[in-house]
Every structure is written in C-alpha cells, then in structure tokens.
Amino acid sequence: MKNKVLFKYLRKFPNDMHLLSRLAAFYLEAKGNKWFRYFATFCRIGLALGFIPSGIVKIMGDRFTALPSNHPLGHYFDALHLTGYYYTFIGAGQLITAVLLLIPRTALLGALMAFPIILNICVLVYALRFEGTRITTLMLLANIYLLCWYFDRIKYILPFRQADLGMQEYTPGSNKFPFKFFGLVIAIIAAVIIGNHFLYNIRPGNSAEECSNGCAGNSNPEACTRFCDCIYVQGKPLDVCVAEYEKASGR
C-alpha cells in the first residue's frame, strides 16, 4: 500500500519529487524486475569466481602470479608471499567472502566483505600500471551494484531518515527488459576497456618480452626500451623508471 501511494504521488507531482524520492522509486521498480535480479546473481557469482582461485593459491602457500620479481607488482607479491600466516589469512578471507557471495542468505555480508578487498586491489593495480586494471575495475563496479541492490537492508546503517527515502518495502513490478540500463552497462564496460588502453603512456606489461614488444608502436621506441631495461634488468622502482622515460621523451 505504501508503494502504491508513493508511485501515485510521484506521478501526480513530478516536479516536486526530491532526488532521494526519485532514486527510491527507481529502486523499488528495479527490485521487482527479474532482469535486475538476474544481473545481481550474475555479479555475485562473477565476484565469487574472481576470489576463489586467488584465495586457494594463498592458502596453499604458493606465489600468486608468475610475474617476474623485478616487475612492480612482482615486488609486491614477493613481499606478500613472505609474510607467513598473514598471506594465508588473506587467502582464507577471500575464500570465505566467495562462499558468502554464493549463498543468497549471506550474499549481503559477502558483498560488504568483498568491497574493501576489491577496492584495495583496484587501487593497487592502477598505481602499478598493471594490465589487469580492466577486470579489477569491472569487479569493483559489480560489487558496487550489489551494494546498491541490497540497499533496502543497508539503509538502516546509513545517515538518512527513513521518511526521506520514501520507501519501506517493494512489490513485484514489470518484468520488461530494461534496455536503457543494460545499454548503460555495456557502455560502461566499453569505456573501461577502451579508456584503460589510453590511460597510461607506457606500461611495464607482464614480462620483459611483452614490454619490449610494445616499444615498436611507442612514440619513442628508444626511451621505451630503456624503460623496460630499467624495470626488468635494473629492477628500479616504477616511479623512477617512468620519470626516466618521460625525461627521455621530453615530457
């Protein structure tokens, strides 16, 4: 009944709608649509599958990646691998998070636990110009979608008055396919993939060969070759190598 009253008010007084009321109306409609629900399930499973392999590797005590030690991220993983049971603790946390995400009743707790983990990973790979920035960005966005999906349960710990939110519960609504929403999803995915390609003027790649092979298409092949040598042969920090590359390129 409350939802019906809300929707009647929103239709009758469209110019008086508060921003939160607009968002509440959209949220109520989305929660009753099976396609949004399917997408939430897809995000849960996708996030869980992203955490399971890395969690198992850490629990087994193996090094997480095959990145060479002189790679910027390789430095980090070498140090992390040598932290003993802290390394195992991180892996256990990732596996527990994955399991919680796979179980519908505990999915909210899993989404809350996953957010600081994937946010930390996302910032890390961007800081080190890792090639995996695209997938981690998409995982972070999927996590944010899940937090929005469970807003009806999270709202009680947020600094909003319930009256301002204008909703208490939702009822099944139209199951019409939300073309605009999924069009936006596709556009965001494309923007992440394409944008990451132009984000940095140079990256270390995942190996010395990958780094040097990319120098052919670089605006300054000689400076690029020196950058790769700086990373993989001399083992200098990424910031130092980037500064040397930009200096050689006249930037």
Q: What is the pLDDT of residues 107-153, one digit of tens each?
A: 999 999 999 999 999 999 999 999 888 999 999 999 999 999 998 88
Residues 182 and 223 in one domain: no
Amino acid at 149: W
The length of the chain is 251
Domain of 107? 2-197
Residues 187 and 231 in one domain: no
Same domain flag for 243 and 156: no
| pLDDT of the residue at 162 | 54
83 and 107 housed in the same domain = yes
pLDDT of residue 169: 57
Examine the domain organization and report whether 110 and 233 are in the same domain.
no
Structural domain includes residue 202: no
Pair (82, 155) in one structural domain: yes
Q: What is the pLDDT of residue 5?
A: 43
Asked if 212 and 187 touch (Cβ cutoff 8 Å), the reply is no
Q: Are 203 and 43 in contact (CB under 8 A)?
A: no
pTM value is 0.84
Phi, psi of 132 (to 5 degrees): -85, 15
pLDDT of 217: 81
Report the number of distinct structural domains present in the chain.
2
Alpha-carbon radius of gyration of the chain: 23
Given 177, 197, 217, the domain boundary residue is 197
Q: Which of 171, 197, 223 is the endpoint of a domain?
A: 197
Q: What is the pLDDT of residues 77-91, one digit of tens each?
A: 999 999 999 999 999
The ranges of the chain with pLDDT < 50 are: 1-10, 12-17, 163
18 and 104 fall within a common domain: yes
| Contact (CB, 8 A) for 29 and 173 | yes
Give a three-class secondary structure readout of the chain.
CHHHHHHHHHHHCHHHCCHHHHHHHHHHHHHCCHHHHHHHHHHHHHHHHHHHHHHHHHHHCCCCCCCCCCCHHHHHHHHHHCCCHHHHHHHHHHHHHHHHHHCHHHHHHHHHHHHHHHHHHHHHHHHCCCCCHHHHHHHHHHHHHHHHHCHHHHHHHCCCCHHHHCCCCCCCCCCCCCHHHHHHHHHHHHHHHHHHHCCCCCCCCCCHHHHHHHHHHCCCHHHHHHHHHHHHCCCCCHHHHHHHHHHHCCC
- In this prediction, residue 48 carries a pLDDT of 96
Residue 16: per-residue pLDDT: 43
Per the domain annotation, does 222 fall within a domain? yes
Same-domain check for residues 146 and 213:
no
Same domain, 151 and 100: yes
Q: How far apart are CA 141 and CA 120, in angstroms?
A: 13
The answer as to whether 61 is a domain residue is yes
Given this model, what pLDDT does residue 173 score? 63
165 and 96, same structural domain?
A: yes
- Flag whether 203 is in a domain: no
Largest CA distance in the chain: 70
**Whether 186 and 240 share a structural domain:** no
The reported pLDDT for the residue numbered 216 is 86
**CB count, 10 Å around CB of 1?**
7
